[in-house]
Amino acid sequence: MRAEAQAYADQINDALALLRRFLDWDRALRRLDELNNRVEDPKLWDDPKAAQEVMRERRRLDEAITATRAIETELSDTIELMEMAEAEGDDAMVDEGVATLAALAERAERDKVQALLAGEADANNAYIEVNAGAGGTESQDWAGILQRMYARWAERHGMKVELIDYHAGEQAGIKSATLMIRGENAYGHAKTESGVHRLVRISPYDSAARRHTSFASVWVYPEVDDDIDIEVLDKDLKIDTYRSSGAGGQHVNTTDSAVRITHIPTGIIVACQNQRSQHKNRAEAMKQLKARLYEQELQRREAEASAGYEAKTDIGWGHQIRSYVLQPYQLVKDLRTGVTSTSPSDVLDGDLDPFMAAALSQRVTGEKVEVEDVE
């Protein structure tokens, strides 16, 4: 088989292996049989809420298993046809087989990512919080670029973006901002973006045109559903109000309606200023706080389930998850998975799917890749 065709086949087999491992294939088949039997029980709908949960789990498992089997069958059939075509010297048929494998590889990757979005909160909307690091204008400008990058990524996927909190930089960019991303599997896709992001470029703010390195941190956490009960005690809260400040227009008002809440036991701080009503800003800030506390619990469970593999291990200053180099060459490199892009302009315009997919896969395998940072 041609090298190109073999490469596609290997890619498909890798995706299938990851899917089977993630689903725990034999257990998934048994579980699907159990759910099918429950669906046939007329007493199931005596408890509508429980019935809906059963139907959701059944649909997810059925779709993942059906998609996996379909790809396996199509891969086997295509390879068999290609081998026959090669034996008969039918180059046109071989070319058609290569094209089929290429399309199948793309489909396998999409199905793999979709199946990996089965975490407890993956289907929820997401908050994306961006904070500038030390470095003044340079880091604040970089934080502003990241804020735009995530907004563009969300828009590419038809998601809605709402600016929840915004603190403008002193000369450019932002000190911090919080976005609410509303859309299907928003948190599931974006959750792997939490961490420190590093930028290397010739500074537009340096009259000597020297190269600067800037840092900004990103934190992603899910919106809490009404069904999720997170207890927050009043005695554990410090609540401050202040005057909103922002980019102008709807983001600015002239009353002390902005609200900042500090959760004393954990040190978590959230803020909201996008509403003119202090009451509404406080309600939104409380939603953010509960979301942060919930995300903290999800990370704890994930770390335990992964036998010590902690997704947040390298979240800290000086432990960046991704580097973006704009000069003297063009490269974006993920330091967890090794995924790279030679088009930073596309990445900064929201082309983040390859990085997110690789990081999701890594969460399943728990395998760390030795990756050297770029200069």
Give the pairing type, strands 320-325 and 195-202: parallel
pLDDT for residue 304? 55
Q: Is the pLDDT of residue 332 over 90?
A: yes
* Tally of structural domains, the chain: 3
CATH code assigned at 94: 1.20.58.410
Query: What is the domain range of residue 148?
Result: 126-224+314-365
370 occurs within a structural domain? no
- Structure-token match 């010590």, residue found: 308
**Mean pLDDT across 70-83:** 95
pLDDT class of 252 with cuts at 50, 70, 90: very low
Q: Is the pLDDT of residue 71 over 80?
A: yes
Residues 84 and 218 in one domain: no
> Which residues, in sequence order, are CB contacts of 78 under 8 Å at separation 6+?
97, 100, 101, 104
pLDDT class of 163 with cuts at 50, 70, 90: very high
pTM exceeds 0.85: no
Q: Do residues 164 and 289 lie in contact, with contact meaning Cβ atoms separated by under 8 Å?
A: no
- Point out the domain boundary residue: 89, 116, 143: 116
pLDDT class of 311 with cuts at 50, 70, 90: very low
Q: Is the pLDDT of residue 330 over 50?
A: yes
Between CA 259 and CA 355 the distance in angstroms is 34
Residues 218 and 242 in one domain: no
Quick one: which of 231, 241, 232 has its CA closest to 272? 241
Between CA 298 and CA 124 the distance in angstroms is 13
361 occurs within a structural domain? yes
Helix 353-365 / helix 91-116 crossing angle, nearest 10 deg? 70
Residues 154 and 282 in one domain: no
Both tokens assigned to 343: 């088009």
375 occurs within a structural domain? no
158 occurs within a structural domain? yes
pLDDT for residue 315? 34
- Give the model confidence (pLDDT) of 168-177 as tens digits: 998 899 999 9
Residues 303 and 321 in one domain: no
**Mean pLDDT across 255-264:** 85
Residue % of the chain over a pLDDT of 70: 90
- DSSP state letter for 224: P
Residues 211 and 325 in one domain: yes
373 occurs within a structural domain? no
Long-range contacts of range 321-325, CB-CB < 8 Å, 24 or more positions apart? Answer: 321/194, 321/195, 321/196, 321/197, 322/195, 322/197, 322/198, 322/355, 323/197, 323/198, 323/199, 323/200, 323/373, 323/374, 324/197, 324/198, 324/199, 324/200, 324/348, 325/200, 325/201, 325/374, 325/375
**Greater pLDDT, 64 or 72:** 72
pLDDT class of 307 with cuts at 50, 70, 90: very low
Q: Is the pLDDT of residue 297 over 80?
A: no
Q: Is the pLDDT of residue 102 over 60?
A: yes
156 occurs within a structural domain? yes
pLDDT for residue 173? 94
Residues 189 and 338 in one domain: yes
Q: Do residues 68 and 19 lie in contact, with contact meaning Cβ atoms separated by under 8 Å?
A: yes
16 occurs within a structural domain? yes
- Cα three-residue angle 224-154-217, rounded to 5 degrees: 70
Q: Is the pLDDT of residue 277 over 70?
A: yes
Least confidently predicted of 133-137, 184-188, 269-273, 363-367:
363-367
- Point out the domain boundary residue: 307, 332, 347: 307
Task: Work out the mean pLDDT of the chain and round it to a whole number.
Answer: 86
CATH code assigned at 194: 3.30.70.1660
| Helix or strand holding residue 111 (H, E) | helix 91-116
- Point out the domain boundary residue: 116, 138, 162: 116
For 264, the 3-state DSSP assignment is: coil
**Mean pLDDT across 213-232:** 82
Both tokens assigned to 347: 């990445």
CATH code assigned at 298: 3.30.160.20
Residues 30 and 92 in one domain: yes
Q: Is the pLDDT of residue 317 over 80?
A: no
Between CA 32 and CA 11 the distance in angstroms is 27
Residues 105 and 10 in one domain: yes
Q: Is the pLDDT of residue 116 over 50?
A: yes
- Give the model confidence (pLDDT) of 7-56 as tens digits: 999 999 999 998 898 888 999 999 999 999 999 988 888 888 889 888 98
Residues 210 and 142 in one domain: yes
**Greater pLDDT, 100 or 290:** 100
Residues 18 and 34 in one domain: yes
pLDDT for residue 347? 97
pLDDT class of 179 with cuts at 50, 70, 90: very high
| Half-sphere exposure in the Cβ direction for 365 (13 Å, CA) | 16
Residues 84 and 137 in one domain: no
193 occurs within a structural domain? yes
pLDDT class of 57 with cuts at 50, 70, 90: confident
Residues 209 and 340 in one domain: yes
